[in-house]
Every structure is written in structure tokens, then in C-alpha cells.
Structure 1
């Protein structure tokens, strides 16, 4: 048989009542909007010192020393003498200026599911166009579309333009 200790039972009952009393007290305080003075808020975080500010540059460079490597010769600031031009009387040939191919860009392609043709995304003089083989935009004609590049003809000259990502 187990002998019951009455004193221990009474002490445990008092402890349980105290614990439940604290719990109920905190719940009542929280819902009633009252302030619990035992709560201490954590301290505010300290402001971080801005040590990355760039100080104003007050130094001046004196560039009156000689070149340590001797690579650059001293500049002669005097006016250069006039050159004698023996070919001054010869007329130049009338050559057509070279064509600027940089005004056309190839950005990519899509495949038309109905006709199975490739349609190229081109940018000509800053204007975007969708072209298939044989089409002409401005002075450019798309001859062949090969996914990674296109063959373009302009003014009797042809050139391959490779795909460039859109900027």
C-alpha cells in the first residue's frame, strides 16, 4: 500500500493554483488592453555608423616629373610645318561609300506552325520588323533564314548577320 503524504499534496495544489493564476492574469491583461509593468521591451538597435562616405579629394597632382619608363617622347607643341602635297592636282576616283551594315540587327526567330516557315525578328534603322524569306523592308531583302543567322541583300551586296540578343 502506498502511504499518501498530505503535506506534499497541499504544497503541490498551491503551486498549481499559482501557475494557473499567473496564466489567467496574463490572458486577462492582454485582452483588456491594460499594461503589464513586468514587460520590458528590448532595447532599440544602435544606428550603424556610415563609414563608407567618400571624403572630398583635396590633393593636387604635380605632373612635372620625367617619364620613368621613357616610353612617351616629349610633345612638341609648336605648329607642324605645312606638308608639300605632290598629288594635289590629281582628281580622286568617285568611289561609292561603303555600306553601313550596323543599322540592321537580327534578334531571333519563331516558327509558324501552319506553314512551317521561320519568321525572323529584325531591327532595321531602329524599327522592328518580322520578315520571312524573300520579303523586303526598306532597302534590305531577307534571302535566307538559318536560325543562328540570316542572309541579307542590300544594294547588290549580301551579308550574313548573326543573331544578337535584344538590348
Structure 2
């Protein structure tokens, strides 16, 4: 019952608002006499409009050049210079890993361990993580690659197709 009363009151309010808006539109479109509009008076401007006006402001230019056109003043260097050795540090020779190929993996669903199949010097070796053979230690088994360590170097070997 309350909802019907609210809807009725809101409907009446909408009709009143639209009636007011319609009345204003129709009264603006009606035939009424045009009100006289006063024309603005034409005042002539003086002939010296474009004369140079003296500037009353002085700029302080005590800041650095923002565009870098003028070179900055160079202060004498009072620090002692030390000789810097620019030679490249000696690098260890790269360990050749060409004799190792990753053939794939075998997953054991019972123990949930993964064996990596590596071809080392033409021999197939099956190694778990942490096991080593012929100086190659398997650090991590992955599906598409294996992380191995050889002579202190760590490498990823991608599965050969």
C-alpha cells in the first residue's frame, strides 16, 4: 500500500515538473513584441595603443643556465688523483660442455622422482638430482632442460631434438 502511495506522489511530481518546463518553452515561442536592445556606444581608442610601455620589473639572473648554453665555471680540482687500473680481470677458461647432451627425463609416479637422461661422451647416463657421473653433477631436473655443474661452472643444457 505504501508503495502505491509513493508511486502516485512521484507521478504527480513528474507531471508538475514537465508542465512547468512545457509552459516555459511555449511562452518563449509565443508571439511577443521584441524588446528593444540598446546598441553599445562606440568609443574610439587613443592612437597610441601600440606604444612601447616601459618595464618596471627587474629580473634576477643569479641562477645557472637551464639550457646549458654557457659552460659552467670550472673550479680548480684540489683532490689528489689515484691511478685506476682499467685492465680486464683474468677470466677462467670456459668449460667445454659440448660432450653433454640432454636426452629427456623419466618420471616415477610412485616415488615422485625424476631421472634425467644425459648423453655423456656417447654413453647414456640416468641421474637423479645431486648425482654425478664423469665430473657432471645434476643440480636440477626440469622438463625441457637440466641444470648441471662441471668444473665449477653451472650451465643449463636444453633438450636436444
Q: TM-score range by the shorter chain?
A: 0.3 to 0.5
Structure with max Cα Rg: 2
Normalising by the residue count of structure 1, what TM-score does the alignment of the two structures yield?
0.41
Normalising by the residue count of structure 2, what TM-score does the alignment of the two structures yield?
0.42
